[in-house]
């Protein structure tokens, strides 16, 4: 937990956490090596355009060049490939049903999308969609169920659990020898589904209206704004739950009275939102390198392997990649589930700050280990559940006004501002559509015009 206290230079990170050593090397020894076709960016989904990957701001590109070792052209190419890969993987997940075992991108430019399945008969359909195939023994739903069983019994001795889709196993990181095996024995989860990895660190939450800017809690301490939001006419921001409890007052980066926590959950999840007073206005930006504004255009969660950048009030702007979704972490204060694990670094005071991929809001900083001098591992609470749980609308730069005066209203159940998850079904303009990628609906993202997000059912 990287909370920064107001009267000290910084809070020391917990000594334990998430060692990455050994998680990638040799992870695929039990499964067939995939073929490696390139991700097609011309498949007609329009994902790169829909998600704004073709209009990435210069400050984001510069940070990707610095932290991922890319040229500007490679960074743009990677963002386009990631957007298209996410749409392709979402479609294949719907088509494969219970046989789906995960998807990920690889390569400096994310040119290779791999989709795993438990049925060899699915290989032709996956290749036809432009993806590589990996046939594995365990479907993703089975691994997620096993992880849920471990989550219910976990302690801080086995602080992190996640499904490694590349290796097709459930990984348990243990801070104390034997903790992983004891957890398996207590839950009855089969040993062949699990790889236990010893870690020398222990994660804790990152304690601490533009995303990434500092704010201060009335009881002491500093955190970072996640993303600007609105609820009706009220403006505010989403942030981490461990930063403050309901009723906690806040002041802004300039120490001017700012607002009050309206709701907060931690542990279990790590989500909260702050309603600002009339002196503050929500903006559709995240603080980027050098203080430049990075536009926020939506909230589509990107696939494993995608690039992601974080903005925080201590360390500023840093980038890395998404390692796993739906990770569970047991901090000293308790377990949180459903967070995303990344290679982005963070330090005390960065808590609550923004994670953004291209121009798509991903989540708010929860916790991690390491620092931005030697590197580290961090977790973010995905943003869409925060928006949905609290009835919030993400502030974006979208300007499409929708149907003009006298133009027909298409009708249907699809609604601007609603958070949709993969598999949700809506009607629009007389047609029925199935959601492919979780997101908050906005004007200009109507189902017929966004095949990266919606499939005609």
User: Which residue carries 């798509």 as its tokens?
Assistant: 360
d(CA 167, CA 190): 16
Q: Is-catalytic flag, 192?
A: no
d(CA 329, CA 159): 5
d(CA 168, CA 136): 7
Cβ neighbours for 280, distance < 8 A, ≥ 6 positions apart: 209, 235, 252, 258, 259
User: Which residue carries 């996956």 as its tokens?
Assistant: 126
Query: Which long-range contacts (C-beta less than 8 Å, at least 24 apart) are formed by 265-268?
Result: 265/241, 265/389, 266/205, 266/240, 266/241, 266/242, 266/333, 266/334, 266/336, 267/242, 267/331, 267/333, 267/334, 267/335, 267/336, 268/334, 268/335, 268/336, 268/337
Q: Is-catalytic flag, 242?
A: yes
Secondary structure class of 292 (helix, strand, coil): coil
Q: Which of 224, 311, 337, 351 is catalytic?
A: 351
Rounded to whole angstroms, what are the CA distances from 416 to 75, 262, 449?
A: 31, 23, 14
Q: Please give the full DSSP string across 166-218, using - where no structure is assigned.
A: TTTEEEEEESSTTHHHHHHHHHT--GGGEEEEE-S---EE-----BT-EEEET
Q: How far apart are the first and last CA of the chain?
A: 44
Contact 40, 257 (CB under 8 A): no
E strand map for 13-168? 100-106, 112-117, 132-135, 160-164
Q: Which of 122, 164, 208, 270 is catalytic?
A: 270
User: Which residue carries 């839950």 as its tokens?
Assistant: 187
Q: Other C-beta atoms within 10 Å of 39: how many?
A: 27
Report which of 446, 436, 392, 387 is spatially closest to residue 416, judged by C-alpha positions: 446
Contact 97, 89 (CB under 8 A): no
Q: Which of 122, 132, 242, 318 is catalytic?
A: 242
Q: Other C-beta atoms within 10 Å of 36: how many?
A: 13
For the CA atoms of 88, 94, 100, 105, the dihedral, rounded to the nearest 10 degrees, stands at 20
Q: Is-catalytic flag, 270?
A: yes
User: Which residue carries 């047609």 as its tokens?
Assistant: 431
Residues that are catalytic = 242, 270, 351
């Amino acid at each position: 937990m990287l909370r920064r206290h107001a009267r000290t230079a910084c809070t020391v990170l917990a000594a334990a956490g998430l060692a990455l050593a050994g998680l990638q090397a040799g992870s695929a020894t039990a499964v067939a090596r995939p073929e490696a076709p390139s991700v097609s960016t011309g498949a007609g989904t329009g994902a790169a355009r829909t998600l704004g990957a073709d209009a990435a701001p210069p400050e984001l590109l510069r940070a990707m060049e610095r932290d991922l070792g890319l040229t500007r052209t490679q960074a743009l190419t990677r963002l386009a490939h990631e957007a298209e890969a996410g749409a392709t993987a979402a479609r294949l997940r719907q088509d494969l049903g219970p046989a789906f075992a995960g998807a990920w991108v690889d390569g400096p430019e994310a040119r290779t999308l791999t989709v795993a399945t438990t049925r060899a008969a699915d290989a032709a359909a996956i290749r036809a969609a432009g993806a590589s195939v990996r046939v594995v023994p365990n479907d993703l739903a089975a691994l997620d169920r096993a992880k849920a069983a471990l989550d219910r019994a976990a302690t801080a001795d086995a602080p992190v659990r996640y499904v490694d889709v590349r290796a097709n196993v459930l990984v348990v990181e243990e801070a104390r020898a034997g903790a992983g095996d004891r957890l398996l024995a207590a839950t009855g989860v089969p040993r062949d589904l699990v790889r236990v990895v010893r870690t020398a660190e222990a994660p804790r939450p990152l304690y601490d209206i533009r995303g990434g800017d500092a704010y201060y809690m009335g009881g002491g301490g500093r955190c970072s704004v996640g993303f600007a939001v609105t609820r009706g006419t009220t403006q505010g921001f989403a942030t981490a739950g461990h930063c403050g409890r309901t009723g906690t007052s806040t002041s802004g980066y300039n120490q001017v009275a700012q607002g009050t926590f309206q709701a907060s959950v931690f542990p279990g999840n790590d989500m909260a939102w702050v309603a600002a007073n009339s002196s503050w206005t929500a903006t559709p930006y995240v603080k980027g390198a050098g203080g430049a504004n990075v536009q926020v255009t939506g909230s589509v969660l990107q696939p494993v392997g995608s690039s992601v950048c974080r903005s925080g009030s201590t360390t500023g702007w840093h980038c890395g990649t998404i390692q796993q979704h739906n990770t569970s972490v047991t901090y000293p204060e308790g377990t949180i589930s459903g967070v995303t694990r990344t290679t982005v670094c963070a330090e005390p005071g960065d808590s609550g700050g923004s994670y953004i991929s291209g121009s798509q809001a991903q989540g708010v900083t929860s916790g991690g280990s390491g620092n931005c001098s030697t590197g580290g591992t961090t977790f973010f609470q995905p943003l869409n559940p925060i928006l949905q749980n609290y009835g919030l609308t993400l502030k974006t730069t979208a300007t499409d006004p929708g149907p003009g005066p006298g133009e027909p209203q298409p009708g249907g159940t699809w609604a601007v501002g609603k958070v949709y998850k993969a598999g949700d079904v809506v009607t629009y303009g007389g047609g029925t559509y199935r959601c492919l990628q979780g997101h908050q609906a906005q004007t200009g993202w109507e189902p017929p015009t966004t095949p990266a997000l919606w499939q005609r059912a």
